[in-house]
Amino acid sequence: SVKDRDLTTPPPSPTEGDRYIVATGATGAWAGWHGDVALFSGGAWLRLSPQPGWRVWIEDEAVLLVFDGTAWIGVTPDALQGLTRLGLGTTADAANPFSAKLNGALWTALAAGEGGSGDLRVTLNKETAAGVLSFLFQSGFSGRAELGLLGSDDLTVKVSPDGSAWRDALTVDRATGIVEQPQSPRFKAYTNYDNYVALTTWTKIGINAVEVNDQGAFDPTTNLFTAPVAGTYLLGASLLYKVNASTSAQMRGRLMLNGTTEIRGSFGEVSSSHKSLATALWLQTIVPLSAGDTVELQGYFRAADGYFAADHTSFWGAKVG
């Protein structure tokens, strides 16, 4: 073994038997000894010229070198080819021929000054579009999320509460780049009958037919939208007027939170004279909702009673944040 391989001058107080590999640019007693072994013996430095196959342990680095006839090189190979299994901190097996058990990993680009480009791209490839190419994220060795090309060439993110039941959370179409969120709550519903509303009486509109009802968040039997999760929702409605006795109805509309609170920004009125099956009122607002909050559409006539017309009186919404 040698104590060091980086010195260019002898240490000031060597001990009998100390050995060093002399570094490039050596001076003094070691001048011209680059790559040789300097041995301190009998109060003087002796020069040992290495021979091919000599091995040496570098004490301050804890590495093993071998002399190849020209230079000292590491005994660890600089290339590994054709391995069938590799385990890092753990044992690889047939199911996981590459396995690593560690607390940190770093991938960094080879800089331009080191002969690289400064970029880093990791490439993963699957054989066919029907195959799977993914990252699987687990907790306690039970799957919770998966990201990749899952049975198609579209990018998909799916999640699971237990590792068994999975839901697609997000899909990006490979051709258009359009993002789909199949689990995001959204609905559009309408009333299929003329809703009579008495004068000066706020009345829930019987929105009882659905066109879109992802996640089943709208209930046509109760005419209520129920927020399945907390978030920000875009809600809107259209109310089409139908005459009863007088077109001076002055209709109003609003969205109500939990049956008791008017949602700010959702109120509107048509104050001019109405035309049956032509005069309409549109409402739209954004509102934060908690899971379980309900929203309903209400109508009102300030000057004369009337109807909110079938088919074109509608209520819609979607989670946007």
Average pLDDT, the chain: 97
Q: Are residues 171 and 279 in the same domain?
A: no
User: Do residues 298 and 253 lie in contact, with contact meaning Cβ atoms separated by under 8 Å?
Assistant: yes
Q: Are residues 243 and 309 in the same domain?
A: yes
pLDDT of residue 78: 74
The CATH number given to whatever domain includes residue 195 is 2.60.120.40
Q: What mean pLDDT is predicted for residues 125-138?
A: 98
Q: Is residue 7 domain-resident?
A: no
Q: Is residue 124 domain-resident?
A: no
Element of type H or E holding 320 = none
Q: Are residues 219 and 301 in the same domain?
A: yes
Please tell me whether residue 30 adopts helix, strand or coil conformation: helix
- Asked if pLDDT for residue 80 goes beyond 90, the answer is no
In the chain, what percentage of residues exceed pLDDT 90?
98
Which of 180, 198, 219 is where one domain is finished?
Answer: 180
Nearest alpha-carbon partner for 268 in 243, 237, 233 = 237
- Asked if pLDDT for residue 188 goes beyond 90, the answer is yes
pLDDT of residue 86: 95
Residue 29 belongs to what domain range? 19-74
CA distance 85 to 93: 7
- Asked if pLDDT for residue 77 goes beyond 90, the answer is no
Residue linked to tokens 């196959």: 53
Output the CA angle 310-316-317, nearest 5 degrees.
170
Q: Are residues 292 and 232 in the same domain?
A: yes
pLDDT of residue 3: 97
- Asked if pLDDT for residue 76 goes beyond 90, the answer is no
Nearest alpha-carbon partner for 299 in 273, 266, 276, 275 = 266
Q: What mean pLDDT is predicted for residues 273-290?
A: 98
Q: Is residue 252 domain-resident?
A: yes
The two tokens of residue 8 are 């260019």
CA distance 242 to 302: 14
Q: Are residues 196 and 162 in the same domain?
A: no
Alpha-carbon separation of residue 306 from 248, 262, 279, 281, 298 (angstroms): 10, 22, 12, 14, 14
Q: Is residue 108 domain-resident?
A: no
Q: Is residue 152 domain-resident?
A: yes
Query: Confidence band (pLDDT; 50, 70, 90) for 231?
Result: very high
Q: What mean pLDDT is predicted for residues 126-146?
A: 98
- Residue 134 φ/ψ, nearest 5 degrees: -155, 165
Average the pLDDT over each of 75-89, 147-161, 214-228, 266-280 and give the range with the smallest value.
Answer: 75-89
Q: Are residues 38 and 151 in the same domain?
A: no
Nearest alpha-carbon partner for 87 in 101, 73, 75, 74 = 101
Please tell me whether residue 231 adopts helix, strand or coil conformation: strand
Give the pLDDT confidence of 27-59 residue by residue, as tens digits: 999 999 999 999 999 999 999 999 999 999 999
Q: What mean pLDDT is predicted for residues 121-136?
A: 98
Give the pLDDT confidence of 142-155 residue by residue, as tens digits: 999 999 999 999 99
In the chain, what percentage of residues exceed pLDDT 70?
100
Query: Confidence band (pLDDT; 50, 70, 90) for 79?
Result: confident
- Residue 75 φ/ψ, nearest 5 degrees: -80, -15
Alpha-carbon separation of residue 22 from 7, 9, 27, 31 (angstroms): 6, 8, 10, 9
Which of 151, 180, 209 is where one domain is finished?
Answer: 180
Q: Are residues 216 and 308 in the same domain?
A: yes
Q: Are residues 193 and 315 in the same domain?
A: yes
Can you give 52-119 as a three-state secondary structure string?
CCCEEEECCCCEEEEECCCCEEECCCCCCCCCCCEEECCCCCCCCCEEECCCCCCCCCCCHHHCCCCC
Output the CA angle 295-189-306, nearest 5 degrees.
80
pLDDT of residue 275: 98
Which of 180, 208, 238 is where one domain is finished?
Answer: 180
Q: Are residues 148 and 237 in the same domain?
A: no
- Asked if pLDDT for residue 94 goes beyond 80, the answer is yes
Q: Are residues 247 and 151 in the same domain?
A: no
Q: Are residues 162 and 238 in the same domain?
A: no
The total number of structural domains in the chain stands at 3
- Asked if pLDDT for residue 100 goes beyond 80, the answer is yes
pLDDT of residue 54: 97
Alpha-carbon separation of residue 46 from 10, 18, 30, 142, 231 (angstroms): 12, 11, 9, 63, 79
pLDDT of residue 260: 97
CA distance 193 to 307: 10
What one-character DSSP code corresponds to residue 29? G
DSSP β-ladder status, 86-88 and 98-100: parallel
Q: What is the pTM of this model?
A: 0.70
Q: What mean pLDDT is predicted for residues 109-128?
A: 97
Q: Is residue 218 domain-resident?
A: yes
Q: Is residue 275 domain-resident?
A: yes
Q: Are residues 284 and 203 in the same domain?
A: yes
Q: Is residue 87 domain-resident?
A: no
pLDDT of residue 75: 87
